[in-house]
Structure 1
Amino acid sequence: MIRKRNLIVYWSLIWLLGSCDTAKKAPENRVQTKRVVAIGLDGISVDGYKTAKHPNLDALMADGVLSLTTRNVMPSVTLPNWTSHLTGSGPEQHGVLSNSWELQKVTLPAIETDEEGYYPSIFKILKEGVPDVKTAFFYNWAELINSFNPRYIDELSFEENDEYQNNYGKAFDFIVNNKSDPTMVFLYSVHTDHAGHNHGWMSPEYITSIEEVDVQIGEFINRLKEEGLYEDTHFMFFTDHGGVPEKGHGGITPQELEVPWAITGPGIKKGQSLKEPNNSVNTATTIAYLFGCGNVPLSWTGEVPMSIFETQEP
């Protein structure tokens, strides 16, 4: 009898191992996106978000789900965290440990890489899994692109000297020109972080930097509405870290590691707060899910916070 039970256990394990794949299976997707616009503002603390006046972001978030307790990865610095947002993984997986990371100066090798040596990003996953998808990456901090393979990005635009207004115009043009195709746009600015470093987190200058970009966000969204491109778009808003007054960031305090994270669009609950635990590594996994990518790399650690949807999966 014991031998028979052992054989049953043995063959059950063989069946389970044989059924494993090299990619994680996502739940069946009932919300298929036309496009995702991911707005990334660097260094937005929860206190900064609560203090600044940003009526346009408020109006956008009223159409969706907002978290003010999303946890970022350690260290609480820029490049490791943006890499985590857009690769569904923490530094222990992608190996980006500091802002000085370069492909030619790797300390901790990524657990998985493509042919050029880059860890798989959301742009790679979409290019390989979504027919005719168009991708764009708009940024104004030069080092930000270092951890992403530009081969999977159709339009790459860098704006110098902390300027970001032209990139908002380019992002709008990119969306209009590709409105018939699935589209993923990452629209980033570092000026808010630099205001914190130069003047202190929660300084008047830091708060003003948030309020100024909110005006640009409002104009951008209004233009999309005029083109009839708002209702079928999923918008995301997220950041890489917060900050401590007079001390910047890089530590392990909640003020540095807990940040705003939000999503709106078709099938997303409206005017809700995200109650379940959330992490920056969930961002790319959620984007892949919205585009109907059934398989994401097994090396990714992110999950989809399913409570954001109006109708959850069974």
Structure 2
Amino acid sequence: MKSASLFEIVAARCWNVLNEGKTFTPVFVLSVFLIANGLAVDPLRFGIAAVAALPLFVVYYIYDYPLHLRWFLWVPPAGFIAMFGHWNTGLLLWAFGLYVFFTVFFWGTLYYHLRIGTTWWNFTRIWKLFLKNTDSTSGNVGEQLPKVFLLLLVMDWAYRDGVGPGTHSWEAYAVFVAGVAFYSWLVHKLLFNWKPQEYPDYTSNAAVSNPLAKRVVVIVIDGCRKERFEEADAPFLHYLQKTGVYYDLMETVYPARTVVCFSSMFTGTYPREHGIQSNMVWKLGVRVESVFDKLKQQGRKGVLFGCAHLIDAFGDYVESFTAVENNDIVDHKIMARAKEIMKRENPDLMVIQMIAVDQTGHSRGVLYPEYLDKIKESDRLIEDFYRWMEREGFLDDTVLVVMADHGQGNGIGGHGHLDVGERFVPFILHGSGIKRGVRVKEHRSIVSLAPTISYLLGVPFPDKSRGPVLTEAIDEVSSKGETA
């Protein structure tokens, strides 16, 4: 399998501008306005219109109205129309038509066909999935359309009424903007109450001086929804679940975006502290220590074998693979190359990201048979990798972690705002020094992964690690783990 090329790395970052909702909104609004006005656009008036809309762009960047809060987004455009009596049916039809084209045909059909081999007929299903989507991407219809409509009406109002003094009710407009800002703050203050509760203190467990395991292998089934994992025909994963330690309430972080979750998993802390707030990374690299850093300081090695997005957070610790691959073979190639990396590097920590489940959820939905089929495929590939490690001696004194970084919601399998199916993830510990047949029903968080890895490998915790070590899973006096 090929590594991600420089072109793919740059292209992935560019795509995130359109994929992430916060950045998509201004790009789409300005593009629609220019397309609708064509060559006749007046540069000065366009500049004034953009400046007039800028405060609202900022408000909507700060307040993204997640989940059920998105229904409150229709109040500001209704208030603007009532205050200023401005309406432009043609412009809003342009916006609606271009939005449908971008999501259903460009993203949902062309993009997925060229990148992962999804059928050319994907538009016949994905339009229904977008209507249910609640995540933080540009495909969140209920969040994006009211924002877009208001911003376009504001720009059209500022553009069409002239540029001279006294041509606009700027004082009234300033009051309106202030009202939208206060309204947004109030809605979020009173109703945005489902963020995961954070651990307030840093990891307090006493570090161990002697390693409890020689190696930790973490296999991340990206975007694996917990109840679908439990329903799937996945006998090997369910064997690990029953004979290791399985967590019923292992919670992801907010926002539940892949790069955000991986950053929290391997630093042990939250987005506000490690600095990665979405898949759109403005400043490369986590700004705190990771478990990879701690291993390097001890002269040991950790490798994260994942997609190009993860380079933005972990840089040279990432050995990348190309995500431009048919979805029916991509995980097969990932696991084959993971074997090569294990033999070549012999790392103390090996992290493998499998992506086919996540991509199936995004392109075909999580409540359809195709999603269960991909979990079944993951099961077979993980069993094959486990047996290979056993034959090659890599399983000796090794702890295996099988988990998801986040779940997936209804609709296009979105993830970000912690809708149903996103919050809790499958999480299994199995192997050397791990208890057998334990099911943990207490609440835990994926920020405990990094300190638990550090504890097992006998290295200091990352400097800002907040998650407690998962000591309830560790049997320090047991004999070394048995193989399946």
Matched-pair contact (CA < 8 Å) for 1:202–1:245: yes
2:321 to 124, 141, 158: 158
Matched, 1:82 2:262: yes
* CA separation of 1:43 and 1:57: change in aligned 2, threshold 3 A: same
Q: Quote the RMSD (CA, aligned, Å).
A: 2.4
CA positional deviation for 1:263: 1.0
Counterpart of 1:258 in structure 2 is 424
Q: Where in structure 2 are the equivalents of 1:206-285 lying within 5 Å?
A: 206-246=371-411, 248-285=414-451
- Please report the TM-score for the alignment, with normalisation by the length of structure 1: 0.79
CA positional deviation for 1:125: 1.2
Aligned-partner residue type, residue 96 of structure 1: I
SS of alignment partner, residue 428 of structure 2: strand
Q: Where in structure 2 are the equivalents of 1:97-116 lying within 5 Å?
A: 97-103=277-283
CA offsets, 1:63-99, max 9 Å, x none? 4101131011111222111111111111011111111
Counterpart of 1:108 in structure 2 is none
Counterpart of 1:149 in structure 2 is 315
Distance 1:306 1:241 in 2: 22
- Please report the TM-score for the alignment, with normalisation by the length of structure 2: 0.52
Distance 2:262 2:448 in 1: 12
CA positional deviation for 1:159: 3.1
Distance 2:205 2:359 in 1: 40
Counterpart of 2:458 in structure 1 is 292
SS of alignment partner, residue 441 of structure 2: coil
CA offsets, 1:91-127, max 9 Å, x none? 01111111111425xxxxxxxxxxx774322111111
CA positional deviation for 1:290: 0.8
Rg larger for: 2
Distance 1:231 1:288 in 2: 18
Distance 2:391 2:233 in 1: 24
CA positional deviation for 1:254: 4.8
* CA separation of 1:118 and 1:158: change in aligned 2, threshold 3 A: farther
CA positional deviation for 1:244: 2.3
Aligned-partner residue type, residue 295 of structure 2: L
Worse overlay, 60-69 or 94-103: 60-69
Matched-pair contact (CA < 8 Å) for 1:89–1:281: yes
Matched-pair contact (CA < 8 Å) for 1:175–1:183: no
Distance 1:170 1:134 in 2: 18
CA positional deviation for 1:202: 2.3
Distance 2:454 2:395 in 1: 20
CA positional deviation for 1:27: 4.0
Matched, 1:121 2:315: no
Matched, 1:176 2:346: no
1:42 to 218, 222, 229: 222
Matched-pair contact (CA < 8 Å) for 2:451–2:461: no
Distance 2:294 2:203 in 1: 11
Matched-pair contact (CA < 8 Å) for 2:267–2:462: no
* CA separation of 1:186 and 1:277: change in aligned 2, threshold 3 A: same
Distance 1:147 1:44 in 2: 21
Task: Point out where structure 2 has 5 or more consecutive residues left out of the alignment.
Answer: 1-201, 478-484
Matched-pair contact (CA < 8 Å) for 1:232–1:266: yes
Counterpart of 1:57 in structure 2 is 237
Matched-pair contact (CA < 8 Å) for 2:205–2:468: no
Task: Point out where structure 1 has 5 or more consecutive residues left out of the alignment.
Answer: 1-21, 105-115
CA positional deviation for 1:175: 2.7
SS of alignment partner, residue 75 of structure 1: coil
Distance 1:31 1:117 in 2: 26
CA positional deviation for 1:281: 0.4
Greater share of residues in strand: 1
What is the percentage of aligned positions where both structures have the same residue? 30
SS of alignment partner, residue 304 of structure 1: coil
SS of alignment partner, residue 446 of structure 2: coil
